[in-house]
A and B are shown apart, each in its own frame.
Chain A
């Protein structure tokens, strides 16, 4: 009875599984077929955008505009992709470009234009504009009506921004300035900032508010673009004639930067300390204890509008443009609609860009309060200047626009990344002197710009030849393998069993070949190539060993990341093993509810990932984090202060903080140890106790030797894992300050996915493999001295 029902159940499950598989295939098949049929009539254009700060509303407005466009153009069909925020957008865009199937129309931030243009990703739009104006098309785009700086931001001639061809039609923009807390200004008896206030007035206001109890004068973010905006108000910049000759150590530049550093680090309460990783950026303003926050653009407005009114515990606020120094200046940050150079329907794409950049769409978006229309007429209209909504000073953004300039960047994205990361060490965390930070920046940038990988042109990667070699090699190895199998001379019934075995394993074997072996071989080939990762593989160039040469000979950051990782490994591996073993010994006790304790120890291993990393960022925060709150009472009697883990003390305490955090995940290792402990025969302990051993002696004489094969296994796994730290560092510090927490794999990620150096990153991956392999071999080689494998056999 029970057997029949079990059999029935099994059959039922099998039928369900088969139905599910058939259904899944059918569904996908039908969808693909449908797409082909429908496409016969209408041309499909793919549009991709993000809606980070604008949220659902921005998403809806774009959707409505596209439906409107489809109504007006019945021969076109628009497919929309919205990956979410800007970060996800660029990741998605990169993969789509690399696969040779980019969207036709997409957002591009002006800061990316030089890099994208130099990679040949964007189509120039000048011809479209010219033809439109010759034909006098009804909705043609008149760039004269745009704010000039927003137009310049998408012009690039290969060297300079603001000149040359047009690569996008700006859809919105912002100027920057400081958001100020009206209530705190009133309490400090200060006059509101004027439309053309100065840095002296700014700092005087900040100091006054800093004197109020429990208040800070200003949050001054040191993002690279904002640093340049600040420098421009003093009539200087970080680039000389070109980006290859940075002017960061010029006297005037240094003086301006040092003034900023001094405001933060020589005074107390004037600027936020820069200690905290979490309490920084636009969110600091929300607590009502900070007088000014900036330089920010318009994008913070949606979140600031959620600040409740004064009678509900909130405060009133407004916007003031960037203060002036020697020069009254501002910057423009803008996003365009651009067209892919790979688009198969450029004409249709252009008509869509024309529609989306037009005044009606811009006005619709402006009502959100987030975007400032790039078309002057729309910007000064009531769509943007809504008197019923904060900030009152909408006009401040627009008056600043007339004196604003573009912030251009070189084609190599590392300039911006290095500038931000290095200067932050001097300006924000203050863990090294400003002069040293500037020197580091200039040195690291020089290494980058003089790399043999930049500038020179190389031969194309001989993919066809490599493909043949790979094909022949794999066929040859297959033949050899089959020959080896044949030689086994098995009787017929065993041979058929063997065939069945391989047949059953074949899904895995095919999967392994496609998804593991192929990418591994590809990465090996790419380690000898220059490939940007945003263009199809046939654009890869063969560079010989240049990647390895640059890495091993010149790249200081590579060395630093290896050292940081090794430092972490030296701490985390032994500490993790010891703690896991101690925990396993405890959890091996026969106590009531021991299963509960075991589960509790194991639980954190289940919770790994981004969420836990965010949690630990809070714990290690130098400004009120749990860790320091717990440590300080212990350290104060000794005359010590708790370290600023990811701030001033990051050189010593950055990697150890991650090692400490890694102890949170010892549960998995502990379970393996626990299983090992339970395998040790009890009579060995009894024999030892009769032979005269106490508990401690038994641990050294019985437990450790008997456990040694498991210790070996766990240690090797831990060593491998310790060289693969990524998520924690990526989420918690992003490698900052400087490169002090830039773990190897994080730097690999930076190179591959942020600087578009996929070949370089592949070379790094192979070096990592060699390092881990070497360490594993060393450990295995020494293991016959301390591992007693006999323990498993007797």
Chain B
């Protein structure tokens, strides 16, 4: 009988010892993985959360800037023959609005959220290639700044976000406006490609042990598909914009019909990128929808396999319909019909997704929290956008509505409905994880309703305007055309939409300061990012988690194993196998470094230089080479100097056994 208290005491001792050991580990990890203190350390950070936050804030900043331009356009168009903006300024403004929204907001913000969330959701300590990640962010930031500085100095691009030649070519695109546009593409290209590389590698190699491919959360699948699409779409536009630059700078004649070039070549190259671009933006949006729906329906997502296959097939079909942007260019009709088929076909995977989501709601017990509201709004808006999309897939209908306000309405319905509403849902959903505080729920609901009503008021009338003959990209229109009232209504809706975004900003700022502190898993969600503190520590998980099912936090036993045996004195991570995510090897991640920033600066100098002289290309390579040398300079390995960590069996927890190691 006397054994019992003794056992209890021993157990207490063991528990205490374990806590002490955990605390040691925590401190060691903080030292190893944390950013260096001070401004320098801030600049040198390669932590995916630090970089991810920067990325999100920057992209959101560009969203606000482009939104302000949209407001200016709505002011101009509210009345016929308004003189608020002159045509030159208006043309720059709508070009900047589209360019900024597509290249500096939509794609980057989707990548940015992935940079923050993906490693956490997969149970990794950092994103793969962390220095490349920092480099990708800096390049993106500098490219965006370059474009906006050019705009403020009245050298903003003015040929539309798809910059059709010859209007953007050497003969008709005067000055350096189109060059800044083309070079901005190069910046965002580089950034998007490096981030895509990191996402793909992280997805395949850094998943928690046990997270075989059939257990990967849908959101991770969606960003994987996005990353692959970036991989195949971006090189086309990089090539096209390089040709445009060369046409303008050194007189090649890729697009000049007088010298055997062809303006239609530009359109093919642009839209071979441009259409997949839409899905690059939309697919991560569907990932948000699946994640939020599952959490707030309190059940696993319905039709996991069907959803994943839909994402993948959307990714493939998305490359086969670029010609539907070119139905009016005089291509052969039979050929165009194939693209009608492909365009209409993409409604099938979208339909599968919508039906599976509704089934999830049907079989679940929905909770109407603010993230969920945005997802419900998404259904209404996106389905309308999908319907008008199917209409335009038909060549005859497209010939009428192409390049009218009908199209403007359509793509705002699919992009704002399909990507921005889910994104705002994601902001509300992950705000506690990112900041450690809850976002105000009441204000969140209000934000949703104001944005939802404002959005529909702004863009629904545009369908009718388009059918009634209003072309897009006109800086004004004549009163007798009868478009005034609907335009006024759209502008009034724009005020409401703007107000909604402002409410979100107010809510975010207030909650940052005085929001309720968030617990680890405030929504009771199933994925791994909720298995760590809010906000997560620099190293993400004290002991990297393992996974026993798709909805792991809902199903795992209390003593689910964790990974031990990773060194805490260097940035060691566990690499797992591609298919079954069984531990494969231990790899060491590089330390924080200032070199990515320097390399990005050197790259920026070269890119901007080539706008003015071709010589910037060879000369600019020298500093890039120098900075890359610094970046890749091998460091003295500390690994050999220190003894390997002892692997201990601890009380009350099971540990994942790494190969070739006792536990």
A is bound by B: no
Residue numbers of A with Cβ under 8 A of B are none
